[in-house]
Structure 1
Amino acid sequence: MKNMEVYTPGHGLITDSLILQGICRYLAWHSVYDARIIRIGDRFKINFQHDLRLTDTEYTEYFENLRLACQTYLERQQINSSQIIEKIYTANINLPIFKRWLNQLLDSLNKISLMDFSENHKIVKKEGRNAKGKNLITLYLPLSSVYGKYVITNYRSSQTNYSVCDQCFLFANLGLIYGTTVLRSNKGDKSSVVFTTFLPQTETQLLDLLLLQRLTEFAHHEFLNSDVPLLACPLYFLSFGETMISVENIQALIWRIEKNGNFQRSLDVSLIRLDKILEFISAVKLQIPSWPKIVNKIIQDKSGDGQIILSDIAEALVFGTRDTYKIIRRLVSYVMNGEEKDEIAKVLDKVTLTLERTTKEQ
């Protein structure tokens, strides 16, 4: 066994978090589960022991599935041909670049090298703004958020791409597909997409992030609606599947991008604690088995009231700044005409106490 370590390259917290998720998936595909992930500012170091070939000359079946998904879409132009394609399509707000995105992803599979992620990777590959490295790829807005295509210098906005190498592009895409939730709302010419991924606050084990990937893998939803508040998204997605209360020292990174007509922009970015949200979900699902069904109904409320309720619950859990009893009353009032009314009413006090307890233990 060899002691190995790789680093995310330093393209900002969002892109590095996506690359981290991609590296986690890559290690799992190669049966590496015992690894330590250490956060270093906006970067991450991954330590593990394994006789792993850091350069793949033979594709695993997972990379072949990715290759096949891209090729199938490029030949048939069918969005529903693969969950991989559906998720990237949902995340993308710039439709004209979609085929180029998939072609670049396909090309990046020609050589897969984890060894490229050394401590000085970004310098060696000459990546970044006005990058001078060879064969670099523009880092699209869903994979970076804060970078995008424009930069402001001397009070002027100019078009300047932020470019990365094919391996950064590949692993960021893997992180998007397997380690990120995507929630998109469309209304007329306006589209808004909220992304949520997970990262260690200081350090964690690989298995914790892989456990969360069981919820984020292919997780994407799209509907006609107004903007969904950022804090509502992790509460929504974490309400489904297995309860992850055992996961510790993990934060949720949430960001939004928007397209209004021909104008695209990055809006909100938030980094929040996750423990209280997981604790609440664990308790409420124990009391209300139909909680995922209720949350799914609330998130699709066209008036926007339902999403605000979820956001208020999350805010109370994360920051302790909301009247928890009023929030629960609003929730019950919202579903008064639904079949879940009696079930929620029976456990209202218990859920309220759970919220109050978690907000007091800040």
Structure 2
Amino acid sequence: MRFFTPGHSTYTDTLMLYGLCRALYLQFGEEFEGAFLKATRIGQQYMIEVEADVDEIVEALMRIPSSEGDRMYSQLTEARSPLGLFGEKDVEEALETLRDEEGLKEYLNDLREVGHPTRGREGRGGRGKTLKLPLIPLAGKYQHRDLTSTPKFAAKSYKACKHCRAITLLGFLNSVYGVRGREGRMIITLPFEGMVEADFFSDFFAFYPMYWEQFFDELRRVRLVDQVPIRTATYIVISLFSGDLIDAMTGAEAGWHSIG
């Protein structure tokens, strides 16, 4: 099956890509390798080609509530967690959406063609519910206007359908490196330009930065975390990656950067 992430923003679509790949990785296990999946960046969205049909992808997503539900609650709603930027209702809604077989099938079929947000009238001031700021930080709160013609910015939230919100939240859990400091939180994810196959995602999801929490606990203790720019934090993240993950990144037909 070939389908496209919606095109809400590079950051949001990157989270959605990782969320979809996480579900497929858990579902297919050892089959999830090589050309089983190819993800190609096209503008601010991704084209995903996977050796699975829509029913198999739906099944993979429907298994997320049982496999990832507890972790979503503990890491996304706990205020002390670096990723704890959401409420329990956000997680409940996402898990309920991922249990809706017919809704997921209709959604994935719609993603076969570019233009999902336009067809669904999503976006700034559009239909659906607000896509929260950690899931689309570049959108902010206000709609851009020509300041030569109006003295104010209209407050219009960025809206998205429940399926976009659920998959983006899943991707946030599984692709964002979060750092909690005294002045707030820094979040980092890794989009790419080019094409990446399943091996990268397998290594990415299998990787665990053993000393990540201890390292940033020390930064917080000496009050340095609020002074570390995103570029430096990204270098620190990559320095903790496993050798297999670095090999997968360098072997991919892609260039890497960070968004935070």
TM-score range, shorter chain: 0.7 to 0.9
Q: Deviations over 1:291-320 (max 9, x none)?
A: xxxxxxxxxxxxxxxxxxxxxxxxxxxxxx
**Could you tell me which residue of structure 2 aligns to residue 152 of structure 1?**
144
CA distance in 2, matches of 1:137, 1:105: 12
Q: Which amino acid aligns with 2:58?
A: T
Q: Shift of the alpha carbon at 1:23?
A: 1.2
1:117 to 111, 116, 133: 111
**Could you tell me which residue of structure 1 aligns to residue 122 of structure 2?**
127
Q: Which SS does the other structure have where 1:55 is aligned?
A: helix
Highest RCO, 1 vs 2 (Cα 8 Å, sep ≥ 6): 2
CA distance in 1, matches of 2:96, 2:206: 27
Q: Which amino acid aligns with 1:205?
A: E
Structure 1 residues 19-168: aligned runs within 5 Å: 19-31=16-28, 33=32, 34-51=36-53, 53=55, 54-56=57-59, 59-60=62-63, 62-69=64-71, 82-83=74-75, 85-86=77-78, 89-91=81-83, 98-111=87-100, 113=104, 114-118=108-112, 119-132=114-127, 136-155=128-147, 156-168=152-164
Q: Which amino acid aligns with 2:189?
A: T
CA distance in 1, matches of 2:5, 2:168: 10
Q: Which SS does the other structure have where 1:131 is aligned?
A: coil
Structure 1 residues 315-334: aligned runs within 5 Å: none
User: For residues 147 and 195 of structure 1, do their structure 2 counterparts lie closer, same or farther at Cα, with a shift above 3 Å needed?
Assistant: same
**Could you tell me which residue of structure 2 aligns to residue 175 of structure 1?**
171
Q: Which of the pair is proportionally richer in strand?
A: 1
Contact kept in structure 1, 2:26 and 2:60, CA below 8 Å: no
Q: Which SS does the other structure have where 2:258 is aligned?
A: strand
Contact kept in structure 2, 1:198 and 1:209, CA below 8 Å: no
Q: Which SS does the other structure have where 1:148 is aligned?
A: coil
Alignment of 1:213 onto 2:205: yes
CA RMSD of aligned residues (A): 3.0
Q: Which SS does the other structure have where 2:153 is aligned?
A: strand
Q: Which SS does the other structure have where 1:145 is aligned?
A: coil
Q: Shift of the alpha carbon at 1:41?
A: 0.8
Structure 1 runs (4+) deviating above 6 angstroms are 216-220
User: For residues 87 and 167 of structure 1, do their structure 2 counterparts lie closer, same or farther at Cα, with a shift above 3 Å needed?
Assistant: farther
Contact kept in structure 2, 1:66 and 1:84, CA below 8 Å: no
Number of residues of Structure 1 aligned to a counterpart in Structure 2 = 231
Q: Which SS does the other structure have where 1:198 is aligned?
A: coil
Contact kept in structure 2, 1:91 and 1:142, CA below 8 Å: no
Q: Which SS does the other structure have where 2:21 is aligned?
A: helix
CA distance in 2, matches of 1:49, 1:22: 17
CA distance in 1, matches of 2:87, 2:209: 21
Q: Which amino acid aligns with 2:238?
A: L
CA distance in 1, matches of 2:25, 2:195: 18
Q: Shift of the alpha carbon at 1:57?
A: 9.4
Contact kept in structure 2, 1:14 and 1:253, CA below 8 Å: no
CA distance in 2, matches of 1:227, 1:153: 33
Q: Which SS does the other structure have where 1:203 is aligned?
A: strand
Task: State TM-score, norm by structure 1.
Answer: 0.56
Unpaired segments of 5 or more residues in structure 2? none
Q: Which amino acid aligns with 1:252?
A: H
CA distance in 2, matches of 1:29, 1:110: 16
Q: Which amino acid aligns with 1:107?
A: E
**Could you tell me which residue of structure 2 aligns to residue 350 of structure 1?**
none
2:194 to 196, 202, 205: 202
Q: Shift of the alpha carbon at 1:151?
A: 2.4
CA distance in 2, matches of 1:175, 1:88: 20
Q: Shift of the alpha carbon at 1:91?
A: 3.3
Q: Deviations over 1:223-244 (max 9, x none)?
A: 3532321112222222335223
Task: State TM-score, norm by structure 2.
Answer: 0.76
Contact kept in structure 1, 2:75 and 2:83, CA below 8 Å: no
